[in-house]
Amino acid sequence: MKIVVIGANGQLGTELCQQINPYDLVALTHKDIEITDINSIRRALARYKNAAIINTAAFVRVDDCETSPDLCYQVNTLGARNVAVVAQELHAKLVFISTDYVFNGESNNRNTPYNEFEDPVPGNTVGKAKLAGERLVREMCTRHFIVRVSGLFGVAGSSGKGGNFIETMLKLAKERDELRVVNDQVFSPTYASDAARKIIQLVCTDYYGVYHVTNSGNCSWYDFTREILRLVDLKIKLTPITSAQYPQKAKRPTYSVMDNFQLKLLGINDMRPWQDALADYMKAKGHTK
């Protein structure tokens, strides 16, 4: 089975391409396909009937989505629909990558992970656009996997964001005497390599539906930073702050931890703790031995 990766040079796309058998892989970047143009998609995918298509293309600069909602919906919603329409025409399987931001975490001071059967209530534009994309994928393509990920970090870095949180914190820690990091947003950091492995495993099955794919455990951005600095033995003053002390255009969920419930039901939830995944990432990037 051919596996087509749309967004092959992104953070998740790069990991997928490294783990898929080269004989099965079709790697497409933005120069090969424009998901906001259905005719571009048809031209790029015409040869791949009965394939598996993994759509990682997205506009996920969260604050920019608030100031450019048209672009956000064009890529994350209508782009998702376009790929789904063509996938259905080709009798292909389709993986759509979504986000923990479809949840806002605010109801009754939430502190229990969300499973796939709960109703999402997004609190920002990117979450709303991704949720709308999920719904269109469900409607347009029979053989679909919707995979929600959280706090992705990968060796390639995010092409849309120009890196990732880990590299930003390490850079700032070398430039400053103090780091002030938000401590009231709780999530599950997820290594792109681990997410890619699980997505490939899923797409080789017929267990269609919605999946949460995150490393196990959870933390705040402050806790995440503390572990990053501990691994490289960087001594710097680290101060926890509230979201109100670090205002941003887009409202982030206070709690968006997701339970890999569907993976558990299938007996394939072997996603390791985020701390172990982070340690491997740091070795892969050459930050630790």
What's the pLDDT at 189? 97
pLDDT at 108: 62
Domain at 3-162+188-217+256-273: CATH code = 3.40.50.720
**pLDDT at residue 109 is higher than 80:** no
pLDDT for residue 105: 80
Per-residue pLDDT band for 36 (boundaries 50, 70, 90) equals very high
| Structure confidence at residue 157 (pLDDT) | 74
Residue spans of the domains in the chain: they are 3-162+188-217+256-273
Q: pLDDT tier at 238 (50, 70, 90 boundaries)?
A: very high
pLDDT higher for 6 or 158? 6
pLDDT per position as a tens digit, 44-99: 999 999 999 999 999 999 999 999 999 999 999 999 999 999 999 999 999 999 99
Distances from the Cα of 285 to the Cαs of 160, 195, 288, in angstroms? 19, 18, 8
The predicted pLDDT at position 159 comes to: 57
Residue-level pLDDT at 172: 96
Query: Would you mind telling me the total number of residues written for the chain in this entry?
Result: 289
- Single pTM value for the model: 0.96
174-207 pLDDT, tens digit per residue, is 999 999 999 999 999 999 999 999 999 999 999 9
Residue 107's pLDDT is 65
Residue 40 has pLDDT above 60, yes or no: yes
Of 76-90, 97-111, 207-221, minimum mean pLDDT range:
97-111
Task: Please say if the pLDDT value at position 262 is more than 60.
Answer: yes
pLDDT for the residue 162: 59
For the cut 60, the answer to whether the pLDDT of residue 28 exceeds it is yes
